[in-house]
Amino acid sequence: MTDKPIILSIAGVDPSGGAGVVADVKTIVALDCFPAVAITSITFQNTSGVYGASHQSAEVVRAQIEPILDDFIIAAVKTGMLPTAEIISEVARIFGENDLPAPVVDPVMRATSGDSLIEESALETLKTKLFPIANVVTPNIPEAQTLTGFPIENLEDMKRAAVKIKSFGSRAVLIKGGHMPLRNKSEAVDVLLDETDSVTEFRRPFFDVGNVHGSGCTLSAAIASYLGKGKTLVDAVYEAKRYVTERIRLAQNLGHGAKPL
């Protein structure tokens, strides 16, 4: 029997358990990997909204990560909520100083409720410091629109957005299509532009279960888990999307707002 791959999540805490490192840990464990985490922000939220946050300092984030790296061999890394330019820069420095796998970067900007989870001044740092070291960047449609500056209304727009975002330096970009407004929507289509500039479309059934909470965190954690288990990026995305689709199908009303996965 081999040891389980260790997956490091660098992200925020959602006390209601639907998103952030709690969602990451649930996903990593479900996919038979071992989770390690570093907390970037403690948010005050539930399924209905975000009511505030206490961001950690860059020094505190480093202080969490360094003992983990001293003790474990990390198979894969994902980043989620990185709320300040200082934290983003520090995380990028840590990657430059250590032999870490290129991260899955989920560019978390807003909660499902619409509340902002990143300072406006940090967006440029995200693009210039973290994207160039990313294995894959995984924006949803609203995030991709913010990053590119143009509307995304169809599949061709998604592909154009992937090209634009990849130009910031990442090896690959996955545009998640769950937010795209389509008439008679029966499929959720994601678009991957990989490091060879090949485009792969991932199609799964679209389940209209209302707002769900934590789907982006779950997907990026699942991609990191499958990468940590040795799958190629295309295969990791395929398996991760299948996993998330099933979690969405089974989503339950546990609170008064969006359904946690």
Please report the pLDDT score of residue 186 as a whole number.
77
The mean predicted confidence, pLDDT, of the chain is 91
Contacts (Cβ under 8 Å, ≥6 apart) of 156: none
Residue 110 CB coordination number (10 Å): 15
Rounded CA separation 122/108 (Å): 11
> pLDDT tens for residues 201-252?
999 887 777 778 788 999 999 999 999 999 999 999 999 999 999 988 877 8
Residue type, 204: R
Structure token pair of residue 77? 């890394």
Percent of the chain surpassing pLDDT 70 = 95
DSSP track, 36-56? EEEEEEEEEE-SS-EEEEEEP
Residue type, 258: A
Q: Please determine, looking at this structure, whether the domain spanning 6-260 carries the CATH number 3.40.1190.20.
A: yes
pLDDT score of 1 more than 50: no
Please report the pLDDT score of residue 180 as a whole number.
64
Rounded CA separation 64/215 (Å): 25
Domain range summary for the chain, segments of one domain joined by +: 6-260
Instruction: Determine which of 7-16, 35-44, 45-54, 135-144 has the lowest per-residue pLDDT on average.
Output: 45-54
Is residue 66 packed enough to be buried (19+ CB in 10 Å), middle (13-18) or exposed (0-12)? middle
pTM of the model: 0.94
Of 26, 47, 16, 34, nearest to 247 (Cα)? 26
13 versus 210: the higher-pLDDT residue is: 13
pLDDT score of 47 more than 60: yes
